[in-house]
Amino acid sequence: MTPGLEARLRAEGLDPVEVERIVRVALAEDGETDVTSEPIFDAAQVSTADFAARADGVVSGLLVAEAVFEILGIDAVLEPRLKDGDRITAGDVLLTVTAPTVGLLRAERIALNFLTHLSGVASRTAAWEAELAGTGARVRDSRKTLPGLRQLQKWAVRCGGGVNHRMSLQDAALIKDNHVAAAGGVTAAYAAVRARYPDLHIQVEVDTLEQLEEALAAGATDVLLDNMAPETMAEAVKLNEGRATLEASGSLALGRARDVAVTGVDYLAVGGLTHSAPALDIGLDFRPAAGT
């Protein structure tokens, strides 16, 4: 990749080496030869095409689409019309590309796969943020990401206005129900992690108000309220008295998001932002050849 694109990726919190790895994996799936395009078009033929939105949403993945062309080694002129994180409406042109026709067709599907998926994640995140507007609560992602795409999916969440949870198991501790059960209680599990990692951020998952009291007594400053009814969450907020950050989790639905948010929790944990976001409809439209 060019130094310019690498710098733009880093500015978005993306590792250019990781982005290149992901793109190369995707390109390898298509093989070395395009048996459809290569017989039809002369290698010297050049075309211009627009990546265009066919639905409203939030765009994410334009930088990755550019990386596809660069990593393929296509002699392309790339003209971004918008930037990642922008709101878009059907008909908006996102990126214009002028390149050898065969190369343009070779890159088309891979670039669109990244664009449609990541824009879908960003758009779903934006919908949650809109639903929570004015409540003080934010939507936060999880580690429920598609294998190999975590960095890109979490970036798409940021493009949509959401908040990232930990990136990996080593970034922060999350003491869940199975840890608690195997350790013999919240206090024992929390104490063990804190003793090993005195400065590490620790979040504790609780299922009941009694467990919340135990977590707070142990020193927890970040608590995940798992599968609690909104009424119980409201009680948890009162019991907490601002001592810890509270995050709601467990089968949350967009249509009921506000009911959860107004209880006073700080975050809503939504794995569906990444593991099941529908693709946003984006297409590549070739412009008519000159003289036709």
Instruction: Report how far residue 269's alpha carbon sits from residue 271's, in angstroms, rounded to the nearest whole number.
Output: 7
| CATH architecture of the region 130-275 | Alpha-Beta Barrel (3.20)
| Residue pointed to by tokens 């994640």 | 121
Whether 128 contacts 257, CB under 8 Å: yes
What's the pLDDT score for residue 251? 83
In the chain, CATH 3.90.1170.20 covers 3-125+278-286
* Residue 155 CB-density burial (10 A; 0-12 exposed, 13-18 middle, 19+ buried): buried
Of the candidate CATH numbers 1.10.357.10, 3.90.1170.20, 1.10.490.10, 3.40.50.300, the domain formed by 3-125+278-286 belongs to 3.90.1170.20
- Name the H helices within the chain: 3-11, 16-28, 37-40, 62-72, 101-132, 150-159, 177-183, 186-196, 209-218, 230-240, 257-261, 272-275
Whether 121 contacts 61, CB under 8 Å: no
What's the pLDDT score for residue 289? 77
Residue numbers of the chain with a pLDDT score lower than 50:
none
Q: Torsions phi, psi of 133, nearest 5? A: -55, 130
Residue type, 100: P
Report the catalytic residues.
Answer: 109, 144, 176, 205, 226
What's the pLDDT score for residue 229? 94
The string of pLDDT tens digits covering residues 120-167 is 999 999 999 999 999 999 999 999 999 999 999 999 999 999 999 999
Q: Torsions phi, psi of 125, nearest 5? A: -60, -45
What's the pLDDT score for residue 209? 97
